[in-house]
Amino acid sequence: MEIPALVTRVARPSGKCIRHFAGCTGTLVIITVILPAALDSRPAVPLAGRRRQEIDATDRTILSILSREARIPMKSLAGRIGLSRSATAERVARLEKAGVIRGYRADIGQLEEGEIEAFLLVTLKRTPSLGVLDRLAGFSSVRRVFSVSGQLDLIVEVKVASINALNELRNEVAQLDNVEDLTTSIVLRRDIERS
């Protein structure tokens, strides 16, 4: 008879660890295991699902790596934790299904107050448009304006104090008479910069 996976683990100062399992008949089986005090005594975190399983050291390593490198390829992650790609993918899928991994985030740089830089990519209805350039020169957050060839007409470099300030500036520029279209690109980080 198979006993389902670990539900809870309670560490005792003496080094004893009492594990509770739910038996197939609904009875409770208590197993006492003697552990050295030096072993990790953090309580196991139960995962949701039909068969509950605890988060082990490998899962903790996976979570640690993903919290720093959310877009790491599965093959690289597998190599770092010493498992096959399929075994690693199964563990990640189980952590996602259990709600331990609730999503993946972008690590956004320079989004602190006073640190947001962005480019407004502007398409005009007709060129040249000295009126738009004059209006852009009047915004203190506009750092540089480039007239470019191709589908775009202007690239406007801006630096603002907050996302709200960026939205307000974007709305004002979009409402200028000769502006046909406007796209905003926020600078996440400067990878190469030469003086």
Tokens of 78: 């597998």
Mean per-residue pLDDT over the chain, rounded: 75
pLDDT at position 109: 52
pLDDT one-digit tens code per residue, 83-134? 999 999 999 999 988 888 888 766 555 455 557 899 999 999 888 888 899 9
pLDDT one-digit tens code per residue, 160-186? 988 889 999 999 999 998 999 999 999
Of the chain, the percentage scoring pLDDT greater than 70 comes to 67
For residue 20, pLDDT beyond 70 = no
Q: Which residues lie closer than 8 Å to 164 by C-beta, 6 or more apart? A: none
H helix or E strand, kind and range, residue 172: helix 163-174
Of the chain, the percentage scoring pLDDT greater than 90 comes to 39
